[in-house]
Structure 1
Amino acid sequence: MSFKPVVALVGRPNVGKSTLFNRLTRSRAALVADFSGLTRDRHYGEGRVGDVPFLVVDTGGFEPVAKDGILREMAQQTRQAIAEADIVVFLVDARAGLNAHDQDIARLLRTCTQHIVLAVNKAEGMSENAAISEFHELGLGHPHAISSAHGDGVVDLITDALEPFREAAEDEARLLAEEEAAGEGEGGAVAHRIKLAIVGRPNVGKSTLINTLLGEDRVIAFDMPGTTRDAIEIEFSQGGKDYTLIDTAGLRKRGKVFEAIEKFSVIKTLQAIEASNVVVLMIDGQQEVSEQDAHIAGFVLETGRALVVAINKWDGMDEDQRERIQREFERKLRFLAFARMHTISALKGQGVKPLLKSVNAAHAAAFAKLSTPKLTRELHAAVEQQQPPRKGIFRPKMRYAHQGGQNPPLIVVHGSALDAIPDSYRRYLEARFRAAFDLAGTPLRIEFKSSNNPYVEGKQ
C-alpha cells in the first residue's frame, strides 16, 4: 500500500498558509484537486523532502468557535482536514503576535492524536527568540521560526514534521523494490495481484459495484478506520484473476457498505489512486459530467495510472440521455481518449464482466515490455510516413527508441535536435506506439533525448 503522510496546514486567516502551501508544493502542482462544493476551502498538493514524499492540505482561515455562516462552514472543512491528516502544521503570525484565535485553535489541537508542529511565520528580519518567545505558552512544543514567503526555516520545519514517518517511508520504498524485483515473470510482465481502486463522486454507485464484485454475502475481514493511511484493502478473485481492491467508499464488515457525502474524503481518493495499478473512474450517467469528475480524472492521468471509465446507471436512461452523456464525456474528458469506456449497471451487474476484462487489459498494457528493435522499427515507420516539422534550417532526426519504464510505459527516443519536436508530433508518435503495442488503457510517456553534438555519432 502506498503511504504518503498527510500534512494539514491550519491557522487563523492571513497567517501565510497558502504561501507555505505553494512553497511546499513548489508551486508546480499547487492544485492537484480542488473539488467544488465539498472541498471549496481545502486545496491538495504533493511535496517531497529528501526521500519522503507527502500530501499537503491547505485550509481556509480557521475560527473553531464560529457558530454560523461561512465561517462555520470553513471551520468544518478545517476540522475534516485535521481528521484526515497525519501531521498538523499550525501557523501563527510573528508580526501580529499571539491572540485569542490562536489560543482557541491550540486548545483544539491539544486534544488531537496527530503529530502537531507549531510554525511561527513572517519571522524574516527578526531574531528567533523575539519571534517565538510568546508562542511557547500554546503548549504545542518548540515553535519553529519560518518565513513562508522567503523560505527561511521551511526545510527544517517540514523535515522535523516528517521525522516520525521517515522510517515507514524508507521501509515501504525497500519493500516495493523487493516486490517489483521478485514479481517480474515471463516476458517481463509483473505477476502480482492487480491493485484496483474504484473512485468517483459520492453516490455514483461505487459501493454497489464493490458489493457486486465481492458478492453480496462476502465477509470483509478488514475494517481499519482512523487516519488516512488506514485505507482498506480487500483481496478477491474473478475469472481466474486475483485482485486487491483499494477502497475509497468506507467499507465495513459483513459486506455492508455505507457511503455518505459527509464521509467523502478527497485524501482517501488521492491515496487510493496512487496505491493502485488500475483505476476505475465511475461516472453517474444520470447526471452531468462535473468538474469534480474531471479533477479526479486529471489526478489519475498525472499519477500515470492505468484507467477504465465506467458510466453507471445506464439501464435507467433513455436514448436521449445516453447520447447526452456520451457527448459530455467526449467534450469534458477528451484527455481520457486512451481509456476504454464501459456502460454498466452496478446494481444489476450488467457490463461488469467486460469492465473487468478492460481492467486486465489496462494492467497488462501498463506493465508491457516493449522491445527496442520493435520500438525502433515503429519509430522509423512513423517518421517515414510523416517527418517531424523543421525548425529553422534543421529537421529533428530520430535514430532509435527504447523503453525507459513501466506503469506507465515510458518510451525514450534518441536523436538530434529533438527539443524542437512539437506536441502535435508527440501525440502522433503516441498514437502510433499505442496501436503497434496495444497500449489501450494506460497513459504513455514519450521522452526525447538529443545528442549534445548532432555530428558526434556520425564521426564514431
Structure 2
Amino acid sequence: LFLIDAQADISKDDAAVAELLRSAPERVILVANKVDNESIAEDLAGFWRLGLGEPHPISAVHGVGVADVLDLVVNRFPDVEEEDRKDDSPRTLAIIGRPNVGKSTLLNNLLGEDRVVVSPIGGTTRDPIDAPVEIDGISYTLIDTAGIRRAPKVGEDAEFYSILRAKEVLRDADVALLLIDALEGVTHQDQRIAEEAAESGAGLVVILNKWDAIDTEEREWTEDGVADRFGFVDWAPVLRISALTGSRLKRLGPAVERVLVNRASRIPTGELNRLITAWTQAHPAPVRKGRRPRILYAVQAGTEPPTIILFVSGGELGEDYLRFIENRLRERFDFEGSPIRLIARRKNRRPR
C-alpha cells in the first residue's frame, strides 16, 4: 500500500518512491488519505501521474473507504486454502457424543463393515478409530470418538471423559457429527459436547439417532428438547436417522457438503461494511461503562470457520451485541452448519 496525502501536491519523496514501485505496479495499491469531503475526492486526477494506477480515496480518521481498500488487498492474496487442498486430502468428519448413543453403529454403517464392536455397555470401544469412508462418492476420513475413551477411576465423572474425547478429535475435524439418543432426548452432557464443537470452529451437524424407535409424541418431545437446549447452535442442521438400519442416512452426505461449503464462505469487505453500518445505525450498540462503542469497519480475516474482525472505537462491544451482529449475518448469508467467529478489536488513538 503506497499512502499519499490527498490534500497536498506530489512531493519529491512521493515521486521517488513511485519510481521504485513502478517496476511491479501490479503489486501496488495507491491509497490517497485525508479525503474528508467530496471536493477532495473529485480532485485526485493529478495522482495518476505517479504511474501506479487509480488512486483509491480513504479517510483513515473517519474510516471512510478503508473497507474498499481492504477488499482490494484480500482479492490480491493468493488463495492459500485452495492451494492447501490441491492434494485432494479428504476432509475429516468426527463422530462425537455421549457413550452408547450409537457412534460405533453409525461408523460401521458408513463403512459397510463391522469395524467396531457394538455393545449396549457404553465405552466398550477402546482403540482409536480413524477410517477412510466414501459418502455419495466423496472421500472422507471418519473418526469415532468412542475410541479415545480411557477407564475412569472410582469417583471420576464419565461426562468429563466424553468432553475430553470430543476436544481431542475436534482439533483436526472439518465437520462434527453430534449424535443424540432420540430415546433419551438432549441432556446436559450433550449441551457440553455441543459447546465444545462450536468453540472448536468445526462445522456441526446434529443427528437424532434411533428415530425409528420412538412414536409421534416422543418425537415432538425430543424436537422440543433440541430447540430448547441447543438454542446456542440453532444454526446447525438437524438430521433424524437410524444408525442401526440406515434409515434416512442418505441425507448425511448432502448435509455435510453444504456445511463444508458454508464454512469456507467469504463476504466481500465492501458489502460487509455497508451491512454492518446499516445495522448499527438502526440498532446502535448499548452504552457500556459510560461509553458507546462504534464499529469503524470490519474485515473477514479468514474462513473455516468464517472469522470477522470488528475494529471498534469508544466502549467495548458486549457479547449480546456480537450475537446481534452474528444473527444479522446469518439472516443475510447462508452459514448453516458453520460457526462464525466475531473478534472485536479496540482502535487506539495515535499519540499526537
**1:448 Cα offset (Å):** 1.4
Does the 8 Å contact 2:136/2:253 carry over to 1?
A: no
- Is 264-273 or 362-371 further displaced after alignment? 264-273
State the secondary structure of the residue aligned to 1:184. Answer: helix
- Which of the numbers 192, 212, 215 marks the counterpart of 1:315? 212
Q: What is the alpha-carbon distance in structure 1 between the residues aligned to residue 87 and residue 214 of structure 2?
A: 39
CA distance in 2: counterparts of 1:389 and 1:189, whole angstroms: 46
Question: How does 1:194-343 map onto structure 2 within 5 Å?
Answer: 194-216=91-113, 231-250=128-147, 266=162, 267-343=164-240
**Alpha-carbon distance, 1:310 to partner:** 0.2
Instruction: For 2:287 and 2:199, locate their aligned partners in 1 and report how far apart those are by CA, in whole Å.
Output: 30
Paired with 1:205 and 1:393, the residues of 2 have a C-alpha distance of: 52
- State which of 307, 312, 327 in structure 2 corresponds to 1:415: 312
* 8 Å Cα contact 2:95-2:144 kept in structure 1: yes
Post-superposition CA distance 1:318-372 (Å, at most 9, x none): 1110111112222223222121111111222222222232222222222323322
Sequence identity of aligned pairs in percent? 35
- How far apart in 2 are the matches of 1:300 and 1:362? 14
The correspondence of residues 82-101 of structure 1 with structure 2, limited to 5 A, is none
The answer to whether structure 1 residue 386 and structure 2 residue 283 are counterparts is yes
1:332 partner letter: R
The residue aligned with 1:448 is 344
Shift of 1:260: 12
Match of 1:431 in 2: 327
Aligned AA (2:331): A
1:261–1:450 Cα change, 3 Å = closer
Equivalent residue number for residue 374 of structure 1: 271
Once the two structures are TM-superposed, the CA of residue 437 in structure 1 deviates from its matched residue by 2.7
C-alpha distance in 1 between matches for 2:171 and 2:290: 44
Q: Does 1:406 align with 2:303?
A: yes
TM-score (norm 2): 0.64
Matched-pair contact (CA < 8 Å) for 1:183–1:192: no
How much has 1:261 moved relative to structure 2?
9.4
| Per-residue CA distance 1:243-297 (angstroms, 9 max, x = gap) | 110122349xxxxxxx9999x9644443122221110000010113222212211
**1:388 aligns to what SS in structure 2?**
coil
Paired residues of 1:418 and 1:448 also in contact (CA < 8 A): no
Cα offsets for 1:52-102 (capped at 9, x unmatched): xxxxxxxxxxxxxxxxxxxxxxxxxxxxxxxxxxxxxxxxxxxxxxxxxxx
Q: 1:206 to 1:392 in 2, by over 3 A?
A: closer
**Distance in 1 (alpha carbons) for counterparts of 2:204 and 2:87:** 17
Match of 2:247 in 1: 350
Q: Distance in 1 between matches of 2:228 and 2:289?
A: 35
Q: Secondary structure at the match of 1:185?
A: helix
Amino acid in the other structure paired with 1:435: E
Q: Deviations over 1:132-162 (max 9, x none)?
A: xxxxxxxxxxxxxxxxxxxxxxxxxxxxxxx
C-alpha separation in 2, matches of 1:190 and 1:388: 45
Q: 1:199 to 1:445 in 2, by over 3 A?
A: same
RMSD of equivalent CA atoms: 3.4
Distance 1:192 1:184, change over 3 A: farther
Distance 2:204 2:339 in 1: 8
Q: Which residue is 1:66 aligned to?
A: none
How far apart, in 1, do the equivalents of 2:290 and 2:168 lie?
Answer: 48
Q: Take 1:285 and 1:436, find their aligned partners in 2: how far apart are those partners? A: 32
How many residue pairs match? The answer is 258
What is the SS of the residue equivalent to 2:190?
A: helix
Contact 1:310 1:342 (C-alpha < 8 Å) held by counterparts: yes
* Aligned partner of residue 140 in structure 2, secondary structure: strand
CA distance in 1, matches of 2:246, 2:297: 46
Q: Is the 8 A contact 2:166 2:197 kept in 1?
A: no
Match of 2:60 in 1: none
1:111-131 deviation line (CA, Å, top 9, x unaligned): xxxxxxxxxxxxxxxxxxxxx
3-state SS of the aligned residue for 1:404?
strand
Q: CA deviation at 1:183?
A: 6.6
Q: Are the structure 2 counterparts of residues 242 and 418 from structure 1 closer, same or farther at C-alpha, using a change threshold of 3 Å?
A: farther
Separation of aligned partners in 2, 1:189 and 1:336: 31
Return 5+ residue gaps in structure 2 as ranges.
1-77, 117-125, 153-157
SS class of match (1:308): strand
Aligned partners of 1:189 and 1:364 also within 8 Å: no
